[in-house]
Chain A
């Protein structure tokens, strides 16, 4: 690469789209929360209105996703490459993939009830992306100029999306199964209890959590292998216990542990759900703390 042309005005427009998407996501989020309160209402007339508000919620959610997608694509075009070379780009692309996978998944399995969780999470990610992680468009460092960036990172983002949805299901599972929530006399908890009554049965939640985690684990295994192949090209060895490699390994091992837990006697149910959350915490930790503060060869936050 001898010279490049970055389209800086387009990258600014992309940011505007990301902000617009956040605004619409916020509306969708409020509708989803309202919808949950309707669906869990003690009054029958209120409950009947829930179907309608859910439709509105998904309408806004899908619109936000479309604006979000446009923002991501523009960022890619303005940089002349895939839009996931630093934390800002990784966040906006990754959160879009979460939304995309979620919207696809609700056609296969009925997981509409976790919309508020997913929506809230995406807002949180976009919020940190625009405030904490924002960097202007840049070209790729030579080490990142490889088609493995496309393969390795795409799959990692996909895996994260599946782990993310599974984690939302685990939270729902734990809340539903919690004795404390079931018996607490607090008013606020009573509301939570009613909201939870809208959710699928625990067994159903557990099964879904399992499915999403298993797809996540497969994709993560692929991420790990693709990363090793790339490391062989870029750094002369396929595995060197670099910080990021260590965390990829830890996450993989935790989810392998999760699968052993779900297939052995003593460790199903709550313990498995906790493991699923521990695994996802490691994913988040890897993306935030490890990227920003740990030393290693993978320095791509783009932040000084």
Chain B
């Protein structure tokens, strides 16, 4: 089957060939529109979209990996500025990426509407008339037979109808067509894609997500000030937040200690929580796991991370407490070697602590420590201490996980006058430089929770599944045309399929068979 013939015979849309534009603005606009909605443009835009998506996987993206962007800027400021100007850290919201997909969808709409009209008319019209030369079609048979014209047409019609064809019998010939569902499926598929884009777009505007780190014993109440970070969609209103409360009672992290190849692999993380849907509702106990979010009113609460929060108390030399409480440490590796920061602006002498926590300490040959297992087998805390102005008083926001050591004096730790202050649970130690003392009271765990709300998720899924089902329909339904013509001393049958259709020949054979069942009485020539 020659492809040129296939398309020119069956493609409903007229042409994507460049035609010389009519003169005048309207002519130009029409020409541009025709170009935009041509299949060739659609194809180019699709391929362009694929290429345009690539850089977003190479450079860190602000949306997915803001820290990556920050460190890129630190490591390579000049290049970073150029890339940033090209919006390469925000590829998927960049003007060029948006331009491609908006053009693609304009093209899609401009393509689908006329095709729908054509298809609607085709559905209501009769199968196309008999072409003059049937020989040129792939499934062609010429049969010598003495059967009467009436017999041939009646049998042919019955056979085609039995196979679900739409049949029209004209004088001495039959035209039949089948497989409109293919085009219906294809149109539905493209419409469903528009549905996905629109519902996802609306969802992006209405949605929000926020992050909160919760230490065992702490309670989170859903309002803006309780979040550590919050990303609202453009239509978000604060009144969307329902004042439910979640208390983290206990966080369980289970690591494999048994199988030699698997030591230290996390087996399960479980956040045991108590929730209250309204301030005076009865408390309810539930469990949040990875892959199993908690359904809170109007939002889902997901478990996205966890770590250790050593509980520390710092006292001034006179015994006055300058800090007391759990400090969240960020895990640095699979064995939870963790890094934490304590800032003590209220101590007699202002100082900051940069601390390492090893859940299961192991000393390396160099003398440095590392953690050899993520669970609490033999925990150790090691603190480097910096004295000086922490810069907290000028009101500028600071990252709680970072200590700006620039301008501070290191008084304990490597390359400092004193060794790092090392503690096990329950210990109290004196701090150098007359800073007082520190007590390692205990270890709590924390859970990083993500609260996310997206009202159109269900609709996006609906359209995505609709697209899938329509695509399956359109790819599996064969579209076929069959013609039968009676002539003196025999008849001809021809068939045409739109796509790869290996069964076309056997279809024609079956039709011939049902018109002249006795094998001996006919002679077919291809």
Contact = CB atoms under 8 A, between A and B. Distances in A.
Given A236-B452, A295-B65, A8 B265 contact: no
A139 interface: yes
Contacts of A264: 7, 16, 39-40, 43
Nearest to B60: A295
A112 to B, nearest CB: 16
A30 B454 CA distance: 56
Contacts of A296: 57, 64
A28 to B, nearest CB: 28
B267 A265 contact: no
B50 A265 contact: no
B54 interface: yes
Interface string A200-227: 0001000110110011011001100100
Interface stretch (A13-21, A91-99, A254-262): A254-262
B262 interface: yes
Interface stretch (A34-42, A48-56, A142-150, A185-193): A142-150
A188 to B, nearest CB: 32
A266 B16 CA distance: 10
A247 B64 contact: no
Contacts of A234: 290-291, 302
A140 to B, nearest CB: 9
A238 B56 contact: no
B300 interface: yes
Interface stretch (B221-229, B253-261, B399-407): B253-261
Interface stretch (B140-148, B275-283, B308-316, B464-472): B464-472
Contact of A5 (B259, B289, B460): B259
B56 A210 contact: no
Given A237-B454, A264-B43, A228 B464 contact: yes
B16 A265 contact: yes
A250 interface: yes
B57 A246 contact: yes
Contact of A218 (B39, B63, B258, B468): B468
Contact of B467 (A136, A210, A221, A282): A221
B457 interface: yes
A247 B57 contact: yes
Nearest to B268: A1
Interface string A265-302: 11111000000000000100000001000111100000
A270 to B, nearest CB: 12
Given A243-B57, A257-B43, A260-B46, A210 B499 contact: yes
B498 to A, nearest CB: 9
A257 B50 contact: yes
Contacts of A5: 258-259
A255 to B, nearest CB: 10
Interface residues of B, number: 65
B293 A141 contact: no
Nearest to B254: A2
Contacts of A146: 291
B287 interface: no
Contacts of B452: 236-237
B47 interface: yes
B500 interface: yes
A59 interface: no
Contacts of B200: 239
Contact of B304 (A138, A218, A236, A243): A236
A138 B265 contact: yes
Given A146-B291, A265-B4, A236 B92 contact: no
A294 B65 CA distance: 13
Nearest to A253: B50
Nearest to B193: A256
A233 B301 CA distance: 10
B3 interface: yes
A50 B412 CA distance: 81
A183 interface: no
B371 interface: no
A45 interface: no
A104 interface: no
A3 B47 contact: no
A138 B47 CA distance: 39
A253 B53 CA distance: 10
B455 interface: no
Contact of B47 (A6, A207, A257): A257
A254 B57 contact: no
Contact of B259 (A6, A207, A254, A265): A6
B159 to A, nearest CB: 26
B269 A142 contact: yes
A225 B465 contact: yes
Contacts of B266: 141-142
A36 B260 CA distance: 48
Contacts of B60: 295
B395 interface: no
Nearest to B253: A142
Contact of B500 (A1, A207, A242, A266): A207
Interface string B161-176: 0000000000000000
B464 A142 contact: no
B414 to A, nearest CB: 26
A143 to B, nearest CB: 5
B502 interface: yes
30 contacts: A1-B268, A2-B267, A4-B259, A4-B267, A5-B259, A6-B261, A8-B259, A11-B261, A136-B261, A136-B262, A138-B261, A138-B265, A139-B265, A142-B269, A143-B290, A203-B1, A221-B467, A225-B461, A225-B468, A233-B291, A234-B291, A236-B302, A236-B450, A246-B57, A249-B50, A253-B53, A263-B11, A265-B16, A268-B3, A294-B57
Given A218-B468, A238-B457, A239-B200, 8 more contacts: A222-B468, A233-B291, A235-B450, A236-B300, A238-B454, A240-B63, A249-B50, A265-B3
Q: 5 closest Cβ contacts across the A-B interface?
A: A136-B261, A207-B500, A236-B452, A253-B50, A142-B290
